[in-house]
Amino acid sequence: MKILVAILPILLIFSCNKETVRKGGFEVHGIDVSRYQSDIDWKKVADQEITFAFVKASEGETISDNFFCKNWKEMKEAGIRRGAYHFFRPTTSVLTQIQNFMDNVILEKGDLPPVLDIEVTDGVATEDIVKRVKTWLDIIEAEYQIRPIIYTNLKFYNNHLADDLSDYPVWIARYNDYFEPLLINDKDWIFWQYGNKGRLEGINGDVDFNVFKGTLKDLDALTYTPQSFSAL
In a domain? residue 151? yes
Residue 11 within a domain? no
Residue 180 is a catalytic residue: no
Is residue 191 one of the residues assigned to a domain? Answer: yes
The yes-or-no verdict on residue 4 having pLDDT over 90 is no
Please state which of the ranges 48-62, 87-101, 116-130, 179-193 shows the lowest mean pLDDT.
Answer: 179-193
18 found inside a domain = no
Q: Judge contact between 127 and 161, C-beta under 8 A.
A: no
CA distance 52 to 211: 9
pLDDT tens for 168-207 read: 999 999 998 788 999 998 899 999 999 999 999 999 999 9
Catalytic residue among 32, 111, 117, 208: 32
Q: Is residue 230 part of a domain?
A: no
Strands 52-59 and 63-64: antiparallel
Q: How far is CA 123 from CA 48, 89, 92, 169, in A?
A: 41, 11, 12, 25
Say whether pLDDT at 93 is over 70. yes
**Is residue 16 in a domain?**
no
Weakest-pLDDT range from 34-43, 50-59, 113-122, 179-188 = 179-188
CATH of residue 40: 3.20.20.80
Average of per-residue pLDDT across 209-225: 97
Q: Span 126-133, mean pLDDT?
A: 97
Say what the pLDDT of residue 35 is. Answer: 94
Report the distance separating Cα 146 and Cα 32, nearest Å.
20
Average pLDDT over residues 35-56: 97
Q: Does the predicted model carry a pTM greater than 0.75?
A: yes
- Antiparallel, parallel or unpaired: β 63-64 and 81-87: unpaired
Distance CA 109, CA 59 (A): 24
Number of compact structural domains in the chain: 1
The pLDDT mean for the chain works out to: 91
Q: Which of 27, 41, 119, 206 is catalytic?
A: 119
Q: Give a yes or no: residue 8 inside a domain.
A: no
Residue 111 appears among annotated catalytic residues? no
Structural domain of residue 201, as residue ranges? 24-221
